[in-house]
Structure 1
C-alpha cells in the first residue's frame, strides 16, 4: 500500500506479478481530503421524482448531479422478486412508488456515460466475514467455498446468527472462521444498520446516510486473505492506520504488516507502476510473442487474441491453443486489474478441435474463481466467441493513469488528406 502526493494506492502481487490494483485520489480542491469520486455502496435517503410505468422504473433524487435509477426488481422484497420471475406477474411500478415518496436506497452501479447511479432498496452491509442484509430473510454462502461440509456449517451458523427477516451471505473469508467471530461481525453490522435507520427518520431527502469505507479499510477488509504473506506500506502514518484496522478485523495478523522504510517510491521499486501501465494499454503483449487488443465501450468490452510473432511448432492447432491458453491467463488477471464489468466478448484464435475450446473455457472458469467480483464464463457463441459477464466494483481502477484525449474524444483516429 502506497501513499503519495496525489492519493492512496494498493496492489496485490503474486510471485511479483500484479493481480489487483485499486486507488483513491486526493481532492485537488480540498488538500488532505480524498476525492468523493466513487459512490458505490453508499446509502442515501432519496426522494422519488418520476415514476415511469413503461420502463417499470423510477428516478430518485439522492443528492448527486443526476437522478438515480431504481428498477422494479430493486423495490420488491428480495424473496418476492425470486418468486415473481415472469415480468407479467410483477406489479406496476405505479402501484409501488409515487412521486414525492422517500426511500432508503444503496448505490449498486456508479454513475457514468451520461447516466445516473443505479440504486436498490435491498441494502447490504459488507463485514470482514459476512454480508449483512437487513431484509433479505435468507442465508447464502460464497460459491468459492467448495467444501460441502464447511458450506453446511456456515449455513447453520448463519441461521443461528440472523434474526427474523434478516439475511446474511457468508463471504469466502468466512471459511474456517469460528461461529463466535461470525456472530460478532453480524452484531456490528446490525448495530450500524439500526443507527442508519435512526438517522433516516430525522433527515429530509436527499441525504447521505452512510458512506462506503475508504480505500485503506476496504483493502484490509477485502484483500487480507489467508494466503497473504506480507503487507508493505510506504510510511509510518499509513503503517499505524493499517495495523489498527488489521488488529480489529484480523487479530493475530498484525505481524504481517511492515513499514517499507527504504527511500524511494514503493511501487516503482517493486515494478508495480510499470506493470499497471502495461495492463492499461490497448495492446498487451504475451510472453510468447502473441498479443491481445482490448477495446472498451459503454455497453461491452471486446478482447481480440492474436498470434503475433509466435510461430509455435509444426502443429497449427497446438500453436493456436498455446496462444489462447496464455491469453486466457492474462485476461483473467486484467479483468481484476482494470475492473472491467458488464458483457465481455473474447475473440480467441479459431481452433478446430472442440476439446481445445472447452479446455480454454474451463481454464478461464478456474482462473476467474479467484476474482473478488462475481465473474461468469457464459460460454461460446455461435460465431465462436467466448462470452463472459463480470460485476464491476468501482467506476475506475486507476483514475490517475489514463484520461480521454480532449481532441479525439478517445476515438484515436486521424484523417489524412490525399
Structure 2
C-alpha cells in the first residue's frame, strides 16, 4: 500500500515522503523561513480609491495595505449602474467594498504587495481561473504533437461556464480522466475558498498557496494512497480540515501517527534519504 508521510516534529523543517511498503518513492522538504505570500488568497476591503493612479489600496489582513490596479479588478465587482466600457475606478469601486484578492508580487521595500482579483489556482496538471472566462488554453511551452494531444484531452473536460482552464507541462501524456480528477479537486478547492470568504467579516487570509500540506495533497495524493500519516497535532488538523473541504470522501485516510518509534524511522526513510544524497 502507498502512504503519504508528513514529519513536522522539528520546528524549522517539515518533510514529506511517499512510500510503498517501506520503499521511498518521493521526498520533499520545507524549511521554515520568511513567509511567502505570492499566490495566497485573501478577503480584502477597499480602503482608498486613487483615480490619479487608476488603482485602489486594500486592507487584506497583513501589516501593509496592498495595491490593486483598476485593470486587475474583475467586472463582477463593478457597481451595476455604470456601463463597464465607460467605467472609471471612482465610479464602480467604493471604499469599504469587499473583494477576493490574490498576491501577484510580494511586498518590496516600502511598496505594498501587488494584488489581482483574477484568481488562479494551480493543480498538478491544470490551472483554473474561476472568474476569467477568456484566459484558457495550453501552456506556451508545449508544442507539436504533445500540444495537439493535450488540447484534445482538455476539450473533454467538464467545468462551469465563466471559468477558464490552462494545461500545465506536467499534463503532457495524461488522460482526460487524470486531468478531470485534478480539475475536480480545484473546483472543490475554489468552492471552499468562496464559502470561507463569505463566512468571515473584514480582511483575512483564506488560502495559503505555499503550505506544504496543501502542496502535498495537490501534487501527490490520489486514490492509490491508502493513508496520510502525520506526526504533529497542528499539521494533522490542517490536513484533515483541508481534505474535508476538497475531498471529503478521502478525509478518513488522514491519520495522526502517535507510535513511540519516530515516523520516518518506522518506514526506514532516514536511511534511504541518506543513501540517495550520497549518490548525488
User: Scaled by the length of structure 1, what TM-score is found?
Assistant: 0.44
- Structure 2 CA distance for aligned equivalents of residues 102 and 50 of structure 1: 12
Once the 2 structures are TM-superposed, how far is the Cα of residue 213 of structure 1 from its aligned partner?
Answer: 4.2
Q: Who is 1:98 aligned against?
A: 94
The structure 1 segments of at least 4 consecutive aligned residues displaced by more than 4 Å after TM superposition are 1-5, 219-222, 262-267
What is the CA–CA distance in structure 2 between the aligned matches of 1:115 and 1:22, rounded to whole Å?
31
Q: Give the superposition deviation at 1:69.
A: 0.7
Structure with larger RCO (C-alpha < 8 A, sep 6+): 2
Superposed CA RMSD: 3.8
* Structure 1: gaps spanning 5 or more residues: 11-20, 27-34, 79-88, 225-235, 242-247, 249-256, 272-418
* Counterparts of 2:119 and 2:67, CA distance in 1: 15
Alpha-carbon distance, 1:112 to partner = 2.6
Larger radius of gyration: 1
- Hey, what does 1:259 align to over in structure 2? 269
Distance in 2 separating the partners of 1:165 and 1:174 = 22
Q: Structure 1 residues 94 and 152, CA, compared in 2 at 3 Å: closer, same or farther?
A: farther
Offset from partner CA, 1:148-186 (integer Å, 9 cap, x none): x33233334334423211111100000010001111111
Please identify, of 50-59 and 137-146, the stretch whose mean Cα deviation from structure 2 is larger. Answer: 137-146
Please say if 1:24 is aligned against 2:24. Answer: no
Query: Which runs of 5 or more structure 2 residues have no equivalent in the other structure?
Result: 1-5, 17-27, 77-84, 221-229, 237-249, 251-266
> Is the alpha carbon distance of 1:216 and 1:189 closer, same or farther for their aligned partners in structure 2, counting shifts above 3 Å?
closer
Kept in 1, the 8 Å contact 2:36–2:210? The answer is no
Aligned counterpart for 1:49 among listed residues 47, 50, 74: 47
Distance 1:213 1:72 in 2: 27
Corresponding position: 1:146 with 2:156: no
Q: Indicate how the Cα distance of structure 1 residues 50 and 39 shifts in structure 2: closer, same or farther if over 3 A, else same.
A: same
Q: 2:216 and 2:142 mapped to 1: Cα distance?
A: 21
2:275 and 2:93 map into 1 onto residues whose CA distance is 53
User: How many angstroms does 1:106 deviate by?
Assistant: 1.0
| d(CA) in 2 for partners of 1:106, 1:263 | 36
Where 1:104 maps in the other structure, the secondary structure is strand
Q: CA deviation at 1:263?
A: 9.7
Instruction: Work out the CA distance in 1 between the residues paired with 2:273 and 2:127.
Output: 40
| 2:5 maps to 1:7 | no
Rounded to whole Å, the distance in 2 between the matches of 1:216 and 1:38 is 15
> What whole-Å deviation, never above 9, does each CA across 1:120-165 have from its counterpart, x for those lacking one?
1111111111001112224211122122x33233334334423211
Distance verdict in 2 for CA 1:130–1:258, change over 3 Å? farther
Partner of 1:108: 104
Query: 2:208 matched to 1:211?
Result: yes
Match of 2:164 in 1: 167
The answer for the alignment partner of 1:62 in structure 2 is 60
Q: What is the deviation of 1:208?
A: 2.0
Q: Distance in 2 between matches of 1:258 and 1:145?
A: 39
Of 118, 132, 137, 1:136 maps to 132
1:214 and 1:103 map into 2 onto residues whose CA distance is: 23
**Distance in 2 (alpha carbons) for counterparts of 1:211 and 1:49:** 23
2:153–2:176 Cα contact (<8 Å) kept: yes
After superposition, the Cα gap between the structure-2 partners of 1:5 and 1:261, relative to the gap in structure 1 and judged at 3 Å, is farther
Q: Does 1:74 find its partner at 2:84?
A: no
Size of the alignment, in residue pairs?
A: 213
